[in-house]
Chains A and B, each alone.
Chain A
Amino acid sequence: MAAEREPPPLGDARAADLEELEDGEDLFTSTVSTLESSPSSPEPVNLPAEDLSTNSNGPKPAEIMLDDDREDLFAEATEEVSLDSPERDPMLSPKPTPAITPVTPVTLVAPRMESKSVAAPVIFDRSREEIEEEANGDLFDIEINVSDPEKVGDGMNAYMAYRVTTKTTLSMFHKNEFSVKRRFSDFLGLHSKLATKYMHIGYIVPPAPEKSIVGMTKVKVGKEDSSSTEFVEKRRAALERYLQRTVKHPTLLQDPDLRQFLESSELPRAVNTQALSGAGILRMVNKAADAVNKMTIKMNESDAWFEEKQQQFENLDQQLRKLHASVEALVCHRKELSANTAAFAKSAAMLGNSEDHTALSRALSQLAEVEEKIDQLHQEQAFADFYVFSELLGDYIRLIAAVKGVFDHRMKCWQKWQDAQVTLQKKREAEAKLQLANKPDKLQQAKDEIKEKERVKDFKTVIIEYLESLVQTQQQLIKYWEAFLPEAKAIA
């Protein structure tokens, strides 16, 4: 992997330049070694996020030395495949061992981050374009389908297993086409792993579909009614969209966890995702703590870009929610309409039966048939409304929640940064000036831009699909009524 090439040059440059630092080079070498080893092993889940965030956003010492680094970066940027530049970030996240005191990792990791962000404008412009190209390329290179939900097991221990089929031409996968069986908690496990790894450095990890205890219990108990089949179908479609969105993201695609998820036939049970497990309770406590935190942090938004984007996302979120509510109402009413049309059809048939004028009777029964067909049509339209439109909106709302999560992380980072700043100021005066440098989240900007484009494409295709379904409905309606008209005219 190209990533492995990376640590040596920067590490050496840094080591050379930071000799004057009091903290010894031992720390550097240990960092380098841990960094080298990190790409292969996934980040242990229980490494608290706080430590990681301190490291990524720590104040950056010695900007001056980075001129050399900048040249190195340029050289590397041009020769390496562009996917690797964002690749460096995940390498930063698995931070040095907890043995190192809070202050020093900040100084250690910072130069690397800082070097990137200093060189940010030029490199990222180029790499952003390359990322886009690569993203477009990826769209055609990997295709994921989730199908064949089947019930495995019995009683309360039963679960639905879905077949995940991947077709790809990318070289990093061992085969071109393969499929595995996964259950819902596997998906959730994948998401939590990806989230812990990438969320705090500013990536937007696509959210997984939500757990639904009611729905699953119905399925487990074996109720073979329409609501449980609908639920399974909804979930299958949501899982497929989730995986597709995840692989569209070039960095996440490179992640070994994702590959393992897609390829290996046996996956360790993600017990942490069970609702009533210890991890679940821990998550709930964390969520409560986060909520309290949000209320107490008064962040001085120094970066106007973030403020604006945050406002935009708030607006967007509100409006999407409104739209989603309206579309759900539409689905509900259409289902009602179809039910009422069916009832009316039956009633009209009965009326036709009791009518003794033969032509009228026949016309009335024809009307009944037409209405019945229309009812079917409405039902299908309702399904289309639902699956195509409403689910997409729901996905986007969840996505926005994820984006907000990223913003929240950023706030937390800022807070940590402020704290670290205070402690650092007590120690060094020289570095103090340089702590006021840019935040590393310029990277987020690149990601945001990409998401924007994808979002546009997504929305467009979905809405066009939906409109086409409406067109088909209307055409069918025309056919039915045209067939009915002569019958009605024939009533003597």
Chain B
Amino acid sequence: MTTTLTEIKHLPTLALLVCCEYLAIFKKTVAMHEVFLCRVAAHPILRKDLNFHVFLEYNQDLSVRGKNKKEKLEDFFKNMVKSADGVIVSGVKDVDDFFEHERTFLVEYHNRVKDASAKSDKMTRSHKNVADDYNRIGSSLYSLGTQDSTDICKFFLKVSELFDKTRKIEARVSADEDLKLSDLLKYYLRESQAAKDLLYRRSRSLVDYENANKALDKARAKNKDVLQAETTQQICCQKFEKISESAKQELIDFKTRRVAAFRKNLVELAELELKHAKGNLQLLQSCLAVLNGDT
């Protein structure tokens, strides 16, 4: 009777596995969405955006249209132009110390976060592989154990149960690592990219401003189209100052947010790792006690 029960327990393992995987991925995506929405809500300007309000309040289907091919192609070209431009613009030295410092910092930070994120991904993947291996070992031990009912087979069955449970824990560890560490790093990768983009836009406007200044000087010298040059220059100046101001604010916010997010995630990561390690330890020790008690 017991053998049939254990057999039945093992049948839906595949379905259970798929369920667990789905849940893990779901948790991840949900967490990302939550962070996104919170960020938008916390931002002084964005939170007033009408689209955002609609998103939060409209209780029927929003029917958002995805980007069609033409739009995707446009995006692609825009990106290419932007990166080429960015190279040109980054050569310009910035007057403002703050921004200069930020720029160097961001470039370096971005690269390192990219590196750390990639390595962390690899690490969580290996961890998941180890958990999968435990699963296979568990099932092999199980089939070894069901050969006959001698002593060693009962032993095998118990060890296979242990492996099953450890596997679950290891899988959770890897999923949690993924959630807390890898996702954090990935997010900050994108954030630092966004910050870099912001700086790029600012530099762009600075270059425009300086070009406008030069054009104005040239126009004044030639005494042609002065007014037009002046207006252009003024617009550029305004744009530049506005962007500088908001950029400064954003970058400071970025730093605080980053620190807070890292803290939260690292603390949670450590706590979860502890919980799982303790659970694992308890499981192993109780299994050992049973096995030693048998002999």
Contacts and interface: CB of A to CB of B under 8 A. Distances in A.
B140 A330 contact: no
Contacts of A310: none
A469 to B, nearest CB: 10
B249 interface: no
A356 to B, nearest CB: 7
Interface in B150-200: 150-152, 155, 159, 162, 166
A330 B126 contact: no
Given A312-B147, A323-B140, A330-B133, A460 B155 contact: yes
Interface string A112-128: 00000000000000000
B134 A330 contact: yes
A330 B137 contact: yes
Interface in B74-120: 105, 108-109, 112-113, 115-116, 119-120
Nearest to A471: B284
A157 interface: no
Interface stretch (A42-50, A184-192, A474-482): A474-482
Interface in A321-354: 322-323, 326-327, 329-330, 333-334, 336-337, 340-341, 343-344, 347-348, 350-351, 354
Given A333-B133, A363-B266, A470-B284, A357 B123 contact: no
Nearest to B136: A326
Given A337-B130, A456-B152, A464-B291, A484 B270 contact: yes
Contacts of B120: 344, 347
Interface size class of B (residues with CB under 8 A): 35 or more
Contacts of B270: 481, 484-485, 488
B133 A347 contact: no
Nearest to A316: B147
A319 B262 contact: no
B105 A356 contact: yes
Nearest to A381: B130
Given A316-B147, A322-B140, A354-B109, A485 B274 contact: yes
Contacts of A330: 130, 133-134, 137
A460 B140 CA distance: 16
B274 A348 contact: no
A475 B155 CA distance: 24
Given A316-B147, A326-B136, A481-B273, A347 B115 contact: yes
Contacts of A329: 133, 136
A460 B152 contact: yes
A269 interface: no
A452 B120 CA distance: 46
B7 to A, nearest CB: 16
A481 B162 contact: no
Given A315-B147, A323-B144, A482-B274, A336 B126 contact: yes
A452 to B, nearest CB: 8
A468 interface: yes
A312 B295 CA distance: 24
Contacts of A481: 270, 273-274, 277
Contacts of B130: 330, 333-334, 337
Nearest to B282: A474
Contacts of B116: 344, 347-348, 350-351
B263 A467 contact: no
Contacts of A80: none
Interface in A367-422: 367
B285 A491 contact: no
B126 A360 contact: no
Contact of B122 (A340, A478, A489): A340
Contact of B108 (A319, A354, A489): A354
A491 B133 contact: no
A456 B151 contact: yes
A488 B278 contact: no
Contacts of B262: 360, 363-364, 491
Nearest to B271: A485
A293 B62 CA distance: 76
Contacts of A348: 116
Nearest to B173: A477
A478 B287 contact: no
Nearest to B273: A481
A474 B123 contact: no
A455 interface: yes
Interface in B237-293: 255, 258-259, 262-263, 266-267, 269-271, 273-274, 277-278, 280-281, 284-285, 287-288, 291-292
Given A329-B133, A354-B108, A471 B119 contact: no
B200 to A, nearest CB: 20
A326 B133 contact: yes
A323 B137 contact: yes
B263 A343 contact: no
A354 B258 CA distance: 13
Contacts of A327: 133, 137
A334 B125 CA distance: 11
Interface string A94-113: 00000000000000000000
Nearest to A456: B152
Contact of B126 (A333, A463, A477): A333
20 contacts: A323-B137, A327-B137, A337-B126, A344-B116, A350-B115, A360-B259, A360-B262, A363-B263, A460-B152, A460-B155, A463-B159, A467-B284, A474-B277, A481-B270, A484-B270, A489-B267, A491-B259, A491-B262, A491-B263, A491-B266
Please provide the 8 A-B residue pairs with the shortest distance between their CB atoms, ordered closest to farther: A337-B126, A330-B133, A491-B263, A344-B119, A323-B140, A474-B281, A488-B266, A347-B116
Interface of B: 105, 108-109, 112-113, 115-116, 119-120, 122-123, 125-127, 129-130, 133-134, 136-137, 140-141, 143-144, 147, 150-152, 155, 159, 162, 166, 255, 258-259, 262-263, 266-267, 269-271, 273-274, 277-278, 280-281, 284-285, 287-288, 291-292, 295
Interface of A: 312, 315-316, 319-320, 322-323, 326-327, 329-330, 333-334, 336-337, 340-341, 343-344, 347-348, 350-351, 354-357, 359-360, 363-364, 367, 452, 455-456, 459-460, 463-464, 467-468, 470-471, 474-475, 477-478, 481-482, 484-485, 488-489, 491-492
Given A330-B137, A336-B129, A340-B122, 17 more contacts: A319-B140, A326-B133, A327-B133, A340-B125, A341-B123, A344-B119, A344-B120, A347-B112, A348-B116, A350-B115, A360-B259, A456-B152, A463-B291, A464-B288, A481-B270, A481-B273, A491-B259
